[in-house]
Structure 1
Amino acid sequence: MKNKFFIAAVAFVVWLSSMDRNNFLSQYELRSEVNKLEDQKAFFQNEIDQTRKEQEELLSSPEKLEKFAREKYLMKKDDEDLFIITEKK
């Protein structure tokens, strides 16, 4: 009687480890993907925090906002001339 239970248990473990759609290999792959996505989440959360900090700095100082607009969007005052210097690669 005990031998039947042992054989059934071994067969069940073999079935779970290889034939089931939730087998050990797919669980390992899914866990790897989850870890990768968690790393990406942490990276993007850091980027969001950095961007919010920059936004607060820009909105708190008109001088910084003007500098940002001039550098990023090439804005200028009406009585100014703008010269763009680029480096050749």
Structure 2
Amino acid sequence: MFKKIQQLRIKYPFLKIIWNRYFLVVLFFIIWMLFLDNYSYLDHRLLNKEINELEANQKYYKEEITSDSIKIKKLQNPDMIEKYAREKYFMKKDSEDIYIIEFEDDLQNEESKKDFK
């Protein structure tokens, strides 16, 4: 077996480098660090993806907080509370009637959305 390896080393000089013990140790270390270690490259990639997702969520929620705080400031005014209730919840005064007008374009868009589902 050892003679065959020696013959292959002579025939193919790059095998001499591959069978070098330092090369094998470095190769083992690289494979260990990339795949088998607790702090492997693959684990770091997954953690970095999770960090990016969490940072995106943080940015989204900060934007939502600022928009909500602006809405809260606007709703300190009684006229704005009434306007918000009328637009969002279709509330009305006792002496009023509300008519919801739907246009043909809106109806066609709703029917086409139903067809796709």
Fold match by TM threshold 0.5? yes
Cross-structure match for 1:35: 52
Larger gyration radius, structure 1 or structure 2 = 2
* TM score, norm. by length of structure 2: 0.62
1:25 aligns with 2:56: no
Could you list the runs of 4 or more consecutive aligned residues of structure 1 that deviate by over 3 angstroms after TM superposition? 6-9
Q: Does 1:75 align with 2:98?
A: no
Size of the aligned set, in residue pairs, is 85
Residue ranges of structure 2 left out of the alignment (5+ in a row): 1-20, 110-117
- How many Å apart are 1:42 and its aligned residue? 0.6
C-alpha displacement at 1:62, in angstroms?
Answer: 1.1
Q: Which has the higher contact order (CA 8 A, sep 6+)?
A: 1
TM-superposed deviation, 1:7: 6.8
Q: 1:13, CA displacement in angstroms?
A: 3.9
Please report the RMSD computed on the Cα atoms of aligned residues, expressed in angstroms. 2.2
* Counterpart-to-counterpart distance in 1, 2:84 and 2:50: 38
Residue pairs, 1:1-89, within 5 angstroms: 10=26, 11-59=28-76, 61-86=77-102, 87-88=106-107, 89=109
Deviation at 1:51, TM superposition (A): 1.0
For 1:25, the aligned partner's letter is L
User: Separation in 2 of the partners of 1:64 and 1:38?
Assistant: 34
